[in-house]
């Protein structure tokens, strides 16, 4: 006789089946599902549409002392696009194989965490636990497309300000070892275009100050810096990706015909800057590279983040961290503290002075966020719920 599936797993698989995939997420079905979750949890529910069609779903469990700063449990509802031909199973079927691996887009990034919060709170309530502080769960849209119309807009609302958030949890990612990743900051995302104007003319000539000559100098400067940072990461023990600055050439634009020297060429870069770097000084470096490339070379930003804020994770210096770390120790969770190499919604919270930690309780798990055949094992998922029961009990009952 087949063993009956754990209700939390069934719930998780149902969430995966909702196609909140960019660029056209089904937020309506998702919101309806989340309202059902709030009802099962006995939580108040509020939907805030800072941008039409992009709902932020807020579940609230009132604490015994609502005047105290609250705990925010954040997750995003959208997921990145898929290439179904590269998947073993339908990426929105939540197929579970004989090993208990659940395949689906969002299993790791990050529908797992959103529902693990809910399931952990259910268990705590069923066990009769009360919370000193109010707990808010936010399910936000559009994180996978930079979050500006999701958490970015939500933190500016009066509703968010009235939530009086004192501490937040958000996403991390898997660790294939026995240990768990813990993120206390993240790199600033800079997407920029460098425009190189030059002397146009016939392709048979030796023209001076061409766009091609200038763009070569720009690319050389950026990629020479990239090579140096890659070498530093490779040669420095104990350094993680988030500790260095990455640069990648991602776009090239220009030219009209093979025998015509163009009047302008443009190159685009994706730069992720370590919080240890002085942002003003780094921009001065970019400006110098452009000056050195030639006359009238300019740059402009498509995205310019300022994620230099980090959350203190030193014992005895941050009571929120102390509570979180003690709960992890109780659960036998060994943490690897590092800077998140990409961007999450935590940056919007830290920029407003809210200490935030990125944590997804997935160990013994390959890192497959944004990859084909993303999956999470059901035992790892259920273990994560247990870990969160200890963490949420600790932070929501932190005495002032």
Q: Annotated active-site positions, please? A: 78, 143
Secondary structure of the chain: what % helix, strand, coil (to 5)?
35, 25, 40
Residue 59 CA to residue 61 CA, distance in Å, equals 7
- Name the β-bridge partners of 137: 59, 73
Peptide bond into 23 cis (omega under 30): yes
Residue 81 CA to residue 24 CA, distance in Å, equals 10
Largest CA distance in the chain: 83
Contact 107, 360 (CB under 8 A): no
Exposed/middle/buried for residue 12 (C-beta within 10 Å: 0-12, 13-18, 19+): buried
Q: List, in order, residues 6 or more apart from 243 with CB less than 8 Å away.
A: 233, 274, 276, 338, 339
Query: Which residue shows structure tokens 């509020």?
Result: 46
Contact 356, 168 (CB under 8 A): yes
Residue 277 CA to residue 369 CA, distance in Å, equals 27
Query: Which residue shows structure tokens 């979050």?
Result: 147
């Amino acid at each position: 006789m087949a063993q009956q599936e754990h209700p939390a797993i069934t719930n998780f698989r149902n969430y995966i089946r909702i196609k909140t995939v960019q660029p056209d997420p089904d937020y309506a079905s998702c919101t309806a599902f989340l309202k059902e979750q709030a009802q099962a949890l006995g939580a108040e529910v509020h939907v805030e549409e800072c941008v039409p069609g992009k709902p932020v779903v807020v579940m609230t469990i009132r604490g015994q002392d609502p005047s105290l700063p609250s705990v925010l449990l954040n997750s995003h509802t959208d997921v990145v696009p898929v290439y179904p031909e590269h998947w073993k199973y339908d990426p929105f079927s939540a197929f579970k194989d004989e090993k208990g691996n659940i395949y689906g887009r969002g299993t790791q990034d990050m529908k797992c965490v959103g529902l693990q919060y809910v399931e952990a709170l259910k268990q705590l309530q069923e066990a009769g636990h009360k919370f000193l502080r109010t707990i808010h769960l936010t399910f936000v849209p559009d994180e996978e497309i930079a979050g500006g119309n999701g958490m970015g807009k939500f933190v500016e609302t009066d509703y968010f300000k009235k939530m009086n958030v004192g501490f937040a949890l958000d996403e991390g990612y898997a660790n294939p070892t026995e240990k768990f990743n813990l993120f206390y900051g993240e790199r600033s995302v800079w997407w920029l275009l460098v425009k190189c104007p030059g002397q146009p003319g016939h392709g048979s000539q030796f023209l001076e100050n061409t766009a091609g000559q200038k763009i070569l100098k720009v690319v050389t400067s950026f990629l020479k810096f990239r090579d140096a940072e890659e070498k530093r990461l490779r040669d420095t023990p104990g350094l993680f990706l988030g500790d260095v600055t990455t640069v990648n050439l991602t776009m090239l634009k220009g030219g009209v015909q093979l025998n015509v020297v163009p009047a302008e060429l443009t190159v685009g870069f994706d730069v992720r800057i370590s919080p240890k770097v002085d942002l003003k000084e780094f921009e001065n470096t970019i400006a110098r590279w452009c000056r050195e490339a030639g006359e009238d070379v300019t740059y402009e930003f498509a995205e310019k983040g300022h994620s230099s804020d980090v959350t203190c994770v030193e014992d005895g210096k941050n009571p929120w961290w102390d509570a979180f770390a003690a709960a992890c120790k109780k659960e036998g969770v060994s943490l690897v503290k590092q800077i998140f190499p990409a961007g999450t919604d935590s940056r919007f919270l830290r920029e407003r002075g809210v200490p935030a930690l990125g944590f997804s309780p997935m160990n013994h798990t390959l890192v497959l966020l944004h990859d084909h055949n993303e999956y999470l094992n059901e035992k790892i998922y259920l273990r994560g719920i247990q870990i969160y029961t200890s963490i949420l009990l600790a932070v929501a009952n932190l005495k002032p």
